[in-house]
Structure 1
Amino acid sequence: MSHPSAPPGYDDRNPLYPPPSSGYPVGYPGAYPQPPPYGGGYPQPGGYPQPGGYPPPMPTVPMNFGDSYISDGTGTDGNFNEASWDDKKVRHAFIRKVYSIISLQLLVTVAIIAVFTFVVPVRSFVQRNAGVYYASYAVFLVTYLVLVCCEGPRRRFPWNIILLSVFTLAMGFMTGAIASTYNTKAVLLAMIITAIVAIIVTIFCFQTKVDFTSCTGLFCVLGIVVMVTGIITAIVLSFKYVYWLHMLYAALGAIAFTLFLAYDTQLVLGNRKHTISPEEYVYGALKIYTDIVYIFTFLLQIVGSRD
């Protein structure tokens, strides 16, 4: 029997609907205990030195700690109001806010990459001074840790916007420094492919009934595999450059972060087993933006050629 391709409706969990005959509604006395909300995230992959001693294409970032931004939809975590998700206006406003922030982040990042790639004096300066990369890496790491681990700054305006802006600039400088070492045509091709992948994944997540958020453990394992593979690749390539190992890691990273993008997109869209609280628009934008940038850097390694 065929099933519709559209995702389940928002009113499936409406508290005004009568409960099924085989169970109790959430919060009803004597109901079965609800599972606790899942927390954490997945580790980001490690980088490895490029031939000639250039900085790694993307640094290792820590795992996400805490579970205040993830809900299992039961309303038991104290930070998520189920009624707010049942209100389509609240949901749609949250999604619009997240994707508006992501659009601004990507515009800033593309502008920085364009300057680092097409402005010859800037390109030459960045190639000669690796300190630009390492300085942006330090800022990136500090702001990432604050945004992921500290709920207060992440939710308090205007500090959340300030921290996210600094994080975006730092990651943009890192990505621009990496792109400056690649052929211009390769940078443009990687951008086009990344845009196509991001659009396809987003449309797929809007339409599909497949729930990636129900496979949290699998995605954690995948993140660990990518991180361990990155560490091994970094060690091997620090002694001898192996082209096939380089390409294998880049392909694995591109595939893994495409799946991570689908997972994080469904967390933002909601109406799945796990969702992001409507208050966590900064966290949602940070995760999707980071996924897209990582996809770009991995694709750049695959299609790029050194100047």
Structure 2
Amino acid sequence: MTTWNSNPYPPPNPNQGYYGQQPGGYPVPQQPYPGAGYPNAPPTYPGAVPPQGYPAGPGAPYGPEQQYGQPAGGGYMQQDMYGTNYPEDMDVKGFGFSDKTIRRAFIRKVYSILMLQLLITSAIISFFLFHDGAKRFVRTNTWLIFVAFAVVFVAMIALACCGEVRRKSPANYILLGLFTLAESFMLAVATSQYSVPEVLMAVGITAVICLALTLFAFQTKWDFTMCGGFLFICVIVLLIFGLIASIMAATGNGNRIVSLVYASLGALLFSIYLIYDTQLMMGGKHKYSISPEEYIFAALNLYVDIINIFIYILTIIGASRD
């Protein structure tokens, strides 16, 4: 007579274990999450946080972030081969401003480059302003102005549009130096048409305005970094206004009122731009900020703002004279 065995599987072999069993047929104890301190546990990485939000080992403190499985330092979560999570430090990539030391070093570097640019510009302007031979040489060789304009245009496009170029040394310093020399030459040619008291008055007013705006940008609670699109539209409108004013002046229909209005609007717009670029450089509490690697770009922005403020103030003084 055939008997049916209710257990269709063969009895466990003492010398061979099945899946989930030890030799002898006994079940393998379940291993806890990595790093729990039990024997035969896989190694963990320092600071790893399990997906459940529990601390990495016995005795580790429970934090409000760990209760929800998120890193205490912020940032994105990555997962290792054991399924544990650990935070990704954004400052490692050089795009963060969480460290005040990095921010302060970045600001010092930007203003050091900016002061050097302004010193070079002041020296070239002074040379053309007090040396009559330099004035005559430029007036007889006007092609130098077009060469300087081409250098300014190419250097500006390379530094503003090519991120890899402006971050790579020494190419970024060379381009910034060429831009500063060419811009200083063009500015010196323009200021040579004015008298010394007028230029000195414009320099003094520009210095006071830039210092006051910089202090305002550092301490104000208003965030100007969100006004980038609006400021760009204002630049386009000012450019069209300037073209119309130039055409009117070339045809003999221009007057001092139009020049005064145009220069006043330009000085106001680039004063706001100076606050905007200063707060972009500061980072921190503002919505948008410049990466610490972009010190050349930050110095270039501040330099262009200051030069434009000086040009428009000098135009106001020139339009106000007889």
Name the TM tier (shorter chain). 0.7 to 0.9
Structure 2 counterpart of 1:86? 98
Q: Tell me the residue number matched to 2:204.
A: 192
Q: CA deviation at 1:279?
A: 0.4
Gaps of 5+ in 2: 1-62, 79-89
Q: Does 1:160 align with 2:172?
A: yes
Q: 1:263 to 1:79 in 2, by over 3 A?
A: farther
Q: Provide the rounded CA distance (Å) in 1 between the counterparts of 2:256 and 2:93.
A: 48
In 1, Cα distance between equivalents of 2:290 and 2:273: 15
Tell me by how many angstroms 1:133 deviates: 2.1
1:112 aligns with 2:136: no
Shift in Å at residue 221 of structure 1?
Answer: 1.7
Q: Measured at CA, do residues 231 and 26 of structure 1 come closer, stay the same or move farther in structure 2, by a change above 3 Å? A: farther
What CA deviation, in whole Å up to 9, does each residue of 1:282-303 have, x standing for no partner? 0000000011001111111111
| Counterpart AA for 1:103 | M
**Counterpart in the other structure of 1:103:** 115
Change (3 A) 1:260 1:79: farther
Larger Rg: 2
Aligned to 2:306: 292
- Separation (CA, whole Å) in 1 of partners of 2:278 and 2:64: 30
Q: CA deviation at 1:28?
A: 6.8
Picking from 236, 241, 249, the partner of 1:229 is 241
3-state DSSP class of the match of 1:276?
Answer: coil
CA displacement at 1:127 relative to structure 2: 3.6
Amino acid at match of 1:217: G
Q: Which runs of 5+ in 1 are unaligned?
A: 1-16, 30-74
Question: For 2:95 and 2:163, how far apart are their aligned partners in 1?
Answer: 17
> Stretches of 4+ moved more than 6 A in 1?
none
Bigger CA drift: 132-141 or 277-286? 132-141
Compute the TM-score of the two structures, normalised by the length of structure 2.
0.70
Q: Decide whether the 8 Å contact of 1:126 with 1:180 is kept in 2.
A: no
| Displacement after TM superposition at 1:163 (Å) | 0.5
- Which residue identity does 1:114 align to in structure 2? S
2:55 is aligned to none
Report if aligned partners of 1:205, 1:262 keep a CA contact under 8 Å in 2. yes
C-alpha offsets along residues 246-297 of structure 1, whole Å, 9 cap, x if unaligned? 1111111111111111100111111211001100000000000011001111
For residues 217-250 of structure 1, the C-alpha deviation after alignment (integer angstroms, 9 at most, x for no partner) is: 2212211221121122122222123221111111
1:257 equivalent in structure 2: 270
State the distance in 1 between where 2:148 and 2:317 align: 25
2:290 equivalent to 1:276: yes
1:112 deviation in Å?
0.5
Identical columns (%): 42
Give the distance between the partners of 1:18 and 1:130, measured in 2 at CA.
Answer: 69
CA distance in 2, matches of 1:230, 1:18: 58
Q: Distance in 2 between matches of 1:130 and 1:289?
A: 25
Deviates more, 1:214-223 or 1:199-208: 214-223
Question: CA distance change for structure 1 residues 107 and 80 in 2, over 3 Å: closer, same or farther?
Answer: same
Partner amino acid, structure 1, of 2:255 = V
CA RMSD of aligned residues (A): 2.6
1:232–1:153 Cα change, 3 Å: same
SS for the counterpart of 2:169 is coil
Deviation per CA, 1:44-96: give whole Å up to 9, x if none: xxxxxxxxxxxxxxxxxxxxxxxxxxxxxxx7xx97633xx110110000000
Equivalent residue, structure 2, for 1:266: 279
